[in-house]
Amino acid sequence: MIYWQLFYTFFKIGLFGFGGGLAILSLIQMEVEQYGWMTQQEFVDIVAVSQVTPGPIGINCATYVGYTIGGFWGSVLTTSAIVLPSLIIMLSVCKAYFWLNNRFSGNPYFEQTLRMLRFTVIGLIASAALMLMKPTTFIDLISWIIFGAVAFFTILPQVYKNKVTETLSHPILLIVLSGIAGYMIYA
Amino acid sequence: MFWQLFYTYLKIGTFTLGGGYAMLPLIQREVVDRKGWIDEKEFLNMIALAQAAPGLIAVNSAIFIGWRVGGWKGVAGAVLGAVLPSFLIILAIAMVFSEWKELPAVEAVFKGVRPAVVALIAAPLVKMARAALKNRDDSLEISGYLPLLISLVAALLIWLGHVNPVWVITATILITLVVVDIVERRRK
């Protein structure tokens, strides 16, 4: 039963996961919370681990959630389930590639739907961040200082672009520095 | 062809940090510049399709390139190569981490990391909103900053209304199709 739930959930996430890894996070979060598979804190920890390990964030999350809930076979199942819709859809796209290219570029229905989905995806990612802004994640003032500093260094290269700001905006560097800060402050 | 695609994607999957988007330039270097499997124009078309289709961009691109280069065997090789490194690394971490996470030192590190993760999810929104607004098209009669209202409504529905994102996506698709249909009919 739990295996069927895992498969069905991650198949759905793969099928509706428009806009790549970050947008998929809000889908995973909602499902995982609804089933009570893990706490919000555990979910944030998984996202943190996913961001500092190689590979697509969606695969990392699927594997981790699958292992936590259903052991080794759980992780095999969730990872396959999130890939399966892509296989079905992208293979159809490949088979119809030339037909699609002539038919869909410039088609107002297709182009406008994609354009509107981009704005929905922005909302999805915003909701993922908002749902994580809870006392379990933000325990004190220092949490907000870390949040502010990381947001500042991530946005900085867009305002003031040079080699130094680009290097400082690297997500892995920022996570490692936050981890060191956490160790020094809380341990 | 299975092994060539498997090996190429395995190499890219093992050495790129930072998710699917970070993999695209490496895929381009290997597949277009080094191996010459497909040309640059087709690669750019591939990215557009991989982004438009649901699912993970890295996996979608692996399927497309696998198919164009080696048919079914190519797809199997590329997808396994793209997925396997993350799968194995996360599996190893998940096995170890379930025992470590009670340690006070590990908990302290994660107390620092958690707000950083939220910032890393939220901060790219500025860039994404600017890019989405630049890609403007006034034929639907919503222009300027108005489309961001869609983002706001979507975020509020999910955050406060606990609506499943699946429904928000479905509603976006259906409403857009209806509105475009009305506009197109009126034009004729």
What phi, psi does B17 have (nearest 5°)?
-95, 150
- Looking at the fold, whether A51 and A126 belong to one and the same domain comes out as yes
- Looking at the fold, whether A81 and A147 belong to one and the same domain comes out as no
Categorize the per-residue pLDDT at B30 as very low, low, confident or very high, splitting at 50, 70 and 90.
Answer: confident
Residues 104-163 of B with CB under 8 A from A: 104-105, 107-130, 132, 135, 137, 139-140, 147-148, 150-159, 162
Domain positions in chain B: 2-100, 137-187
Parent domain of A165: 138-187
CB contact under 8 A, B121 and A108: no
Closest CA in chain A for residue B50: A90
- Looking at the fold, whether A120 and A166 belong to one and the same domain comes out as no
Averaged pLDDT score across all residues of chain B: 86
- Looking at the fold, whether A106 and A187 belong to one and the same domain comes out as no
Categorize the per-residue pLDDT at B19 as very low, low, confident or very high, splitting at 50, 70 and 90.
Answer: low
**Residues lower than pLDDT 70 in chain A:** 98, 100-105
Distance from CA of B180 to the nearest CA of A (A): 6
Whether B14 contacts chain A with CB within 8 A: yes
Task: Judge contact between B179 and B140, C-beta under 8 A.
Answer: yes
Give pLDDT, residue A77: 96
- Looking at the fold, whether A68 and A26 belong to one and the same domain comes out as yes
Provide the percentage of residues in chain B whose pLDDT is more than 70: 91
- Looking at the fold, whether A59 and A89 belong to one and the same domain comes out as yes
- Looking at the fold, whether A126 and A155 belong to one and the same domain comes out as no
Query: Is the confidence at residue B130, as pLDDT, over 90?
Result: no
- Interface test mutation site (partner A, options B17, B65, B86, max chain A beta carbons within 10 A): B86
Q: What's the structural domain count of chain A?
A: 2
Q: What is the pTM of this model?
A: 0.83
Consecutive H or E run containing B20: helix B20-28
- Looking at the fold, whether A182 and A144 belong to one and the same domain comes out as yes
Q: What is the pLDDT of residues A144-171, one digit of tens each?
A: 999 999 999 999 988 888 888 888 888 8
Give pLDDT, residue B25: 79
Q: Which of A167, A64, A142, A11 is nearest to B108 (CA)?
A: A142
Identify the burial level of B172 via C-beta atoms within 10 angstroms of its C-beta, where 0-12 means exposed, 13-18 middle and 19 or more buried: buried
Give pLDDT, residue A138: 92
Between A40-52 and A57-95, two packed helices, what is the crossing angle to 10 degrees?
70
Give pLDDT, residue A102: 64
Categorize the per-residue pLDDT at B142 as very low, low, confident or very high, splitting at 50, 70 and 90.
Answer: low
| Final residue of a structural domain among A95, A114, A133 | A133
- Looking at the fold, whether A34 and A101 belong to one and the same domain comes out as yes
Residues of A145-154 as b/e, b for ≥16 C-beta within 10 angstroms?
ebbebbbebb
- Looking at the fold, whether A13 and A75 belong to one and the same domain comes out as yes
CB contact under 8 A, A185 and B112: yes
Q: How far is it, in rounded angstroms, from Cα B5 to Cα B151?
A: 38
